[in-house]
Structure 1
Amino acid sequence: MMFEDKSKVSDEQLRNNSLFELHVISGNRGEQEATLKAAKEIWPWVDYIHIREKQLPLHQRLNWARLMVESGVPVSRIVINGANRFTPEDACYQGVHWSQDMLHKAKMTVEPGNRHDLKRRLGVSVHSIHEARIAEEYGADYLFFGHVYASASKPDITPRGLEALAEVCSGVNVPVMAIGGIQPDNIQAVRSAGARGAAVISGVLQHENPAHAAALLKQSVETGK
């Protein structure tokens, strides 16, 4: 299957092509070389690449981001999970993503009047409509909800399903990204449920050809097939 080379497509053009975001999340395995290689190959096809790696100290995650930028990945595509939104303008990542624990800690330390003045785009992982509304009230720019389908990263937990996804999507005013078991053949289903994007881990980064896997997801979004 042939795909158009999108390596020269601007961020603005990519956003205009689709309001449905694609996020790829690192596997939390500390596989720096493999992750950096994949990031260099997949960034033209995806909106954001998350450096998750919660077992690593923040300075090492920041170093991964710097190495990604040096390899050609645009700063605008890089998200660091667990980072603080109070960061220098020249930091080499565009956004941060928080767990429920991080959101709870931030609620204890950030004054409400400052919440919407923070610099970096903030995503928050949620697992219910209750958590989603709390994150929205705090000032999250988008939410991850899941896992929607059976997922290799959560093999012992029952998927929450499309109905729960639809409830969250309709219950908040910020974009919701579906996560968990997302594949080219079900990405339109989560979109129909109201999701404004999807996030994948092993479906891209553990694929034998990450760029091909990312391109298939993007094609499925754009063509509806």
Structure 2
Amino acid sequence: MVITEEHDSNVTASFELHVISQGVGNLHNFVSVSKDIWPWVDYIHIREKQQPPKQRREWANQLHQSGVPSDRIVINGVHEVGQGEGLAGVHWGQEDFSKSALSISDIRKRIRIGVSVHSVAEAKAAEQRGVDYVFFGHIYDSNSKPDIQPRGLKQLAEVCTNVTIPVIAIGGIGVEHVRDLRRAGARGIAVISHIWASENPKHAIRVLRQAIVESEG
């Protein structure tokens, strides 16, 4: 595998790469790493559940001020979306999604909306309400969910064949999984520990992007 030093400012839209924050509240580390890796990433998610929405928006501001383009930034779990204009979008968990009284069709005129799902039924419900994409997982053993059985490629493929919107695989994903995930029908991947647990996040993201490019063949 040959890893280039060039920043890929036009990342592969056909197979998305999402990076999710650790949820540990370390703003300095998050910004420091994100400003190095964003050229190889389609979206960077601010998923800090312990923080109020106002604080998550401040993280988004800090990220943008560090040089990360606003159209790469997603804030998770917020509903006051009017204040988030200019960002790439919002992402909801099932609880956020079920409680939302917002008109998704109206929100989509301004930003992209994603929802985390765990079954075919949830994926279909999200698609019917008009979301742009879903996260499905966890696919492999994951450090963030050590006591929960992974759903695996078979369940991923089932979800992918039952909806037309992009399904983004998440959970325990490494470079060696990209081709299998793509064959199962995934149209992108989301990673956490692959980046944040790495001693060299910039190299880790470049290797992952290269694996995505090579999986196209």
The two structures have a TM-score, normalised by structure 2, of: 0.93
Q: What is the percent sequence identity of the aligned residues?
A: 50
Q: Secondary structure at the match of 1:186?
A: helix
**Aligned-CA RMSD value:** 1.7
Match of 1:78 in 2: 73
5+ residue gaps in structure 2?
Answer: none
Match of 1:171 in 2: 162
Q: CA deviation at 1:206?
A: 1.8
Match of 2:11 in 1: 14
Match of 2:34 in 1: 39
Match of 1:209 in 2: 200
The amino acid across from 1:139 in the alignment is G
Is 1:187 aligned with 2:184? Answer: no
Shift in alpha-carbon separation, 1:85–1:222, aligned structure 2, 3 A: farther
Is 1:25 aligned with 2:16? Answer: no
CA deviations over 1:81-121 (Å, ceiling 9, x no partner): 012263147x4521100000011001xx23xxx43121210
Match of 1:3 in 2: 3
Which structure 2 residues correspond to residues 42-191 of structure 1 after superposition, within 5 A?
A: 42-84=37-79, 86-88=81-83, 91=85, 93-106=87-100, 109-110=101-102, 114-118=103-107, 119-191=110-182
Distance 1:206 1:79 in 2: 21
Question: Is the CA contact (8 Å cut-off) linking 1:6 and 1:45 kept in structure 2?
Answer: no
Distance 1:122 1:75 in 2: 15
Question: Is the CA contact (8 Å cut-off) linking 1:85 and 1:96 kept in structure 2?
Answer: no
Shift in alpha-carbon separation, 1:92–1:34, aligned structure 2, 3 A: farther
The amino acid across from 1:83 in the alignment is V
Question: Is the CA contact (8 Å cut-off) linking 2:21 and 2:48 kept in structure 1?
Answer: yes
Question: Is the CA contact (8 Å cut-off) linking 1:6 and 1:44 kept in structure 2?
Answer: no
Task: List structure 1 runs of 4+ shifted beyond 4 angstroms.
Answer: none
The amino acid across from 2:33 in the alignment is A
Distance 1:42 1:191 in 2: 22
Distance 1:86 1:43 in 2: 23
Question: Is the CA contact (8 Å cut-off) linking 2:74 and 2:91 kept in structure 1?
Answer: yes
Question: Is the CA contact (8 Å cut-off) linking 2:169 and 2:189 kept in structure 1?
Answer: yes
Distance 1:115 1:97 in 2: 12
Distance 1:72 1:2 in 2: 27
Q: Secondary structure at the match of 1:144?
A: strand
Q: Secondary structure at the match of 2:11?
A: helix
Distance 1:172 1:2 in 2: 35
Q: Secondary structure at the match of 2:45?
A: strand
Q: CA deviation at 1:223?
A: 1.2
Question: Is the CA contact (8 Å cut-off) linking 1:123 and 1:143 kept in structure 2?
Answer: yes
Q: Secondary structure at the match of 2:176?
A: coil
Q: Secondary structure at the match of 1:218?
A: helix
